[in-house]
């Protein structure tokens, strides 16, 4: 093994009661790619934030080329050659690529920015690593993949020798992701050292030399990629065999929701094109896809918060116009929004208020809110759905993500919806909460609810859905039956290659 350029020695960090990092040690060699594997909440991002100086560790130290890095100083980290590529891009959409890259690279009080030199250096780096991008383009005009290239360029521009990438493929299509990993390997060959954070087993196996598995804030294992396999890694990552609820066979009933040639335009951009599907009672239809391919507008149209521009929507067999939120709720459609905190609940209001807000007509008389009934309803959700950490009158903000999701599920499922629109229902939840949410969805399916499951998590879709369609660039692929779908076929579907979908499968 090569000499380590980076040593993390016994790093611990506590947030309140939560020990996010517990004596973590690991190292990185020159020209090496190490994957940091772990579930959400395993402490990966905290560790990298400490390494980059965003957080000060409670204990332990970071050494670069044997020299200790002063804690909590991003500038020192940059100076030592550490570059970070965030999962949520740290870019300004109103500035140009060059301006984004140049920020903070010069003496602040210099009388003039050396723009020309900077442009030359940037173009040079871009060519060397095959990261082509127009330095004068406004960042907001670039695609997501291009924006990520800018993030990487930014780090390289600062002469980074150690590159940290936080879930780099989260927002990329398969093809973009493949291209990016090729670039990363090329960088490693040219002497850079890389750590990438991931919870996707495939890409970890494909791209890394070495894999460090994190669980509950501790390093639980370290493996060479050549000496392990996905099954072992999965078990290490989760710590136990994954027991997800079993999907019992069911016989789908009548078609309750159908879209035909549905289109949505927002600000002149076509977000959905010729979208069509049928959804039957007692089945789960999974919509898979890389984020940003039209999932959000699709969920919004069906939730009553966005009007379609064209196409037909048939509800219980009848063509209907644009639906308002009230129409949707009245029609017996339950909605689980993608953004729990932004859309799903109003944190500063109490639990009972959040429980009844979308059903105020039912919980009011003559314009007066029926507080008593609302409290009783909230109490019944708390009991039936095992919402912990709150009472009907306490603030919703205090609930954990999983409990907030149970509240949202509860307020929808308590009313026995005929249709359930679930967008990323388990995102960011811990394993226990994920299992609870999945069990509830299958329970609703068994009771005859038609479920539309929009998710980026393939495992989730495979274990819950009866049929699966992929959304790519605002278009929906033909459906495949879950039994026929394997990871390879779904991968192709998500990349837009629908030629392998058997004709028989998508006959309605």
Partner 1 sequence: MSVVFDILASAGLWAAILRIATPLIFGTLGALLCERAGVLNLGIEGIMTFGAMIGWLAVFHGADLWTGVLVAAISGTLFGVLHSLLTVTLGLSQHVSGLGVTLFASSFSYYVFRLVVPVAGTPPTVMPFQPIDIPALSSLPFIGPAFFTQTAPTYLAIVIALIMGYIIFRTPVGLAIRMTGENPHAAEAQGVNPMKVRYGAVIAGSALMAVGGAFLTLSAFNSFFPTMVQGRGWICIALVVFASWRPGRALFGALLFAFFDAFQLRLQTVVEGVPYQIFLMTPYILSIFALALMARRARVPQALMQPYRRGER
Partner 2 sequence: MRLERREHRPLLLLIGAPVAAIVAALVLSGILIAIAGAPVFEAYRRILIGAFGSRLSATETLTRATPLILTGLAAAVAFRARLWNIGAEGQFYLGAIAVAAFGSKLLADLPGPILIPLLLIIGATAGMMLILLPLWLRLRFSVDEVVTSLLMNFIAVLFVSMLIDGVLKDPLAFGWPQSQPVADHATLPKLIARSRLHIGLAIAIVLAVVVYLIQSRTVFGMQSRAAGLNPQGAFFAGVPLGRTLVKVACLSGGLAGLAGAIEVMGVKGYVTTDLSPGFGYAGIVVAMLANLNPIGVVFAALFTAIMFVGADGMSRSLGIPTYIADVTVALSLLTMLVALFFTQYRIRR
CA distance 480 to 114: 56
Which stretches does DSSP call E strand in 65-155? 67-68, 82-85
Nearby residues of 272 by Cβ (< 8 Å), 6 or more positions away: 262, 263, 264, 294, 297, 298, 301, 308, 474, 475
Q: State the number of binding residues for partner 1 (CB under 8 A).
A: 32
The site partner of 305 among partner 2, partner 1, none (C-beta below 5 to 8 Å per kind) is partner 2
- 364 interacts with partner 2 by CB under 8 A: yes
- 329 interacts with partner 2 by CB under 8 A: yes
- 358 interacts with partner 2 by CB under 8 A: yes
Q: Which stretch binds partner 1 (CB under 8 A): 35-43, 95-103, 173-181, 294-302?
A: 95-103
Q: Can you tell me which of 123, 205, 346, 489 binds partner 2, judged by CB under 8 A? A: 346
Q: How far is the CB of 111 from partner 1 (least distance, A)?
A: 6
265 φ, ψ (degrees, to nearest 5): -120, 130
- 324 interacts with partner 2 by CB under 8 A: yes
The site partner of 106 among partner 2, partner 1, none (C-beta below 5 to 8 Å per kind) is partner 1
Alpha carbon separation from 226 to 123, 209, 222, 396 (Å, rounded)? 36, 8, 12, 47
The site partner of 186 among partner 2, partner 1, none (C-beta below 5 to 8 Å per kind) is none
- 344 interacts with partner 2 by CB under 8 A: yes
Closer residue to partner 1 (CB): 110 or 488: 110
Alpha carbon separation from 92 to 31, 99, 169 (Å, rounded)? 31, 9, 20
Within 291-320, which residues bind partner 2 (CB under 8 A)? 303-305
Provide DSSP, 139-206.
GGGS-HHHHHHHHHHHHHHTT-SEEEEESTTTTS-HHHHHHHHHHHHHHHHTT-EEEEEE--HHHHHH
Are the C-beta atoms of residues 256 and 424 closer than 8 Å to each other? no
The site partner of 108 among partner 1, partner 2, none (C-beta below 5 to 8 Å per kind) is partner 1
Q: Can you tell me which of 175, 221, 369, 376 binds partner 2, judged by CB under 8 A? A: 369
Beta strand 284-288 with 467-472: parallel, antiparallel or unpaired? parallel
Q: Can you tell me which of 44, 154, 199, 406 binds partner 1, judged by CB under 8 A? A: 154
Helices (H), 29-96: 44-51, 74-79
The site partner of 206 among partner 2, partner 1, none (C-beta below 5 to 8 Å per kind) is none
- 108 interacts with partner 1 by CB under 8 A: yes
Q: Can you tell me which of 10, 104, 191, 508 binds partner 1, judged by CB under 8 A? A: 104
- 348 interacts with partner 2 by CB under 8 A: yes
Q: Which stretch binds partner 2 (CB under 8 A): 74-82, 134-142, 343-351, 480-488?
A: 343-351
Q: Can you tell me which of 66, 110, 116, 231 binds partner 1, judged by CB under 8 A? A: 110
The site partner of 368 among partner 1, partner 2, none (C-beta below 5 to 8 Å per kind) is partner 2
Q: Can you tell me which of 61, 105, 274, 414 binds partner 1, judged by CB under 8 A? A: 105
Are the C-beta atoms of residues 197 and 165 closer than 8 Å to each other? yes
Q: How far is the CB of 395 from partner 2 (least distance, A)?
A: 9
- 398 interacts with partner 2 by CB under 8 A: yes
Burial of 73 (0-12, 13-18, 19+ CB in 10 A): middle
Q: Which x/- pattern over 54-93 shows residues binding partner 1 (rule: CB under 8 A)? A: xx------------------xx--x-----x-x-xxxxxx
181 φ, ψ (degrees, to nearest 5): -65, -35
Closer residue to partner 1 (CB): 35 or 102: 102
Are the C-beta atoms of residues 435 and 243 closer than 8 Å to each other? yes
User: Which tokens is 329 given?
Assistant: 């709720």
204 φ, ψ (degrees, to nearest 5): -65, -45
- 341 interacts with partner 1 by CB under 8 A: no
Q: How far is the CB of 77 from partner 1 (least distance, A)?
A: 9
> Strand, coil or helix: what is 349?
coil
CA distance 146 to 124: 17
- 420 interacts with partner 2 by CB under 8 A: no
User: Which tokens is 261 given?
Assistant: 């040639």
CA distance 359 to 439: 25
Chain positions contacting partner 2, by CB under 8 A:
303-305, 324-326, 329, 335, 337, 339, 342-349, 353, 357-358, 360, 364, 367-369, 371, 398
Site residues for partner 1 per CB under 8 A: 52, 54-55, 74-75, 78, 84, 86, 88-95, 99-100, 102-113, 154, 158
């Amino acid at each position: 093994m090569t000499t380590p350029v980076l040593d993390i020695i016994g790093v611990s960090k506590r947030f309140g009661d939560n020990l996010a990092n517990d004596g973590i040690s690991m190292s990185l060699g020159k020209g090496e790619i190490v994957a940091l594997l772990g579930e959400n909440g395993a402490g990966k991002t905290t560790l990298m934030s400490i390494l980059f100086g965003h957080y000060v560790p409670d204990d332990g130290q970071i050494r670069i080329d044997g020299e200790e890095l002063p804690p909590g100083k991003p500038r020192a980290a940059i100076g030592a050659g550490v570059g970070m590529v965030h999962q949520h891009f740290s870019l300004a959409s109103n500035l140009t690529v060059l301006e984004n890259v140049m920020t903070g690279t010069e003496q602040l009080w210099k009388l003039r920015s050396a723009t020309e030199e900077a442009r030359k250096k940037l173009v040079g780096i871009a060519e060397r690593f095959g990261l082509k991008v127009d330095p004068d383009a406004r960042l907001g005009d670039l695609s997501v993949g291009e924006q990520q290239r800018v993030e990487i360029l930014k780090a390289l521009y600062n002469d980074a020798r150690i590159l940290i990438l936080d879930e780099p493929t989260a927002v990329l299509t398969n093809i973009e992701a493949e291209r990016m990993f090729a670039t990363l390997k090329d960088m490693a060959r040219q002497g850079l050292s890389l750590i990438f954070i991931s919870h996707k087993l495939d890409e970890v196996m494909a791209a890394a030399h070495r894999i460090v598995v994190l669980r509950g804030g501790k390093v639980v294992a370290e493996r060479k990629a050549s000496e392990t396999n996905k099954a072992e890694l999965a078990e290490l990552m989760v710590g136990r065999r994954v027991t997800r609820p079993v999907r019992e066979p069911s016989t789908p009933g009548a078609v309750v929701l159908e879209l035909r040639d549905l289109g949505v335009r927002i600000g002149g951009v076509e977000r959905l094109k010729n979208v069509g599907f049928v959804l039957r009672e007692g089945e789960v239809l999974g919509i898979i896809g890389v984020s940003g391919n039209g999932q959000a507008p699709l969920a919004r149209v069906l939730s009553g918060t966005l009007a379609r521009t064209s196409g037909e929507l048939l509800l219980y067999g009848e063509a209907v116009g644009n639906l308002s939120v009230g129409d949707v709720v009245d029609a017996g459609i339950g909605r689980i929004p993608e953004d729990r905190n932004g859309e799903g609940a109003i944190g500063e209001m109490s639990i009972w208020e959040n429980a009844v807000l979308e059903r105020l007509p039912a919980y009011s008389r003559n314009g007066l809110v029926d507080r008593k009934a609302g409290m009783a309803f909230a109490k019944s959700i708390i009991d039936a759905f095992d919402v912990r950490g709150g009472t009907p009158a306490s603030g919703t903000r205090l609930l954990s993500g999983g409990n907030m999701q149970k509240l949202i599920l509860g307020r929808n499922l308590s009313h026995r919806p005929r249709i359930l629109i679930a967008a990323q229902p388990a995102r960011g939840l811990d394993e226990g909460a994920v299992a609870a949410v999945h069990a509830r969805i299958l329970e609703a399916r068994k009771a005859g609810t038609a479920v539309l499951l929009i998710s980026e998590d393939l495992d989730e879709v495979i274990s819950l859905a009866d049929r699966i369609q992929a959304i790519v660039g605002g278009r929906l692929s033909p459906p495949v039956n879950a039994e026929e779908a394997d990871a390879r076929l779904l991968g192709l579907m998500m990349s837009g290659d629908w030629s392998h979908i058997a004709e028989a499968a998508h006959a309605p």
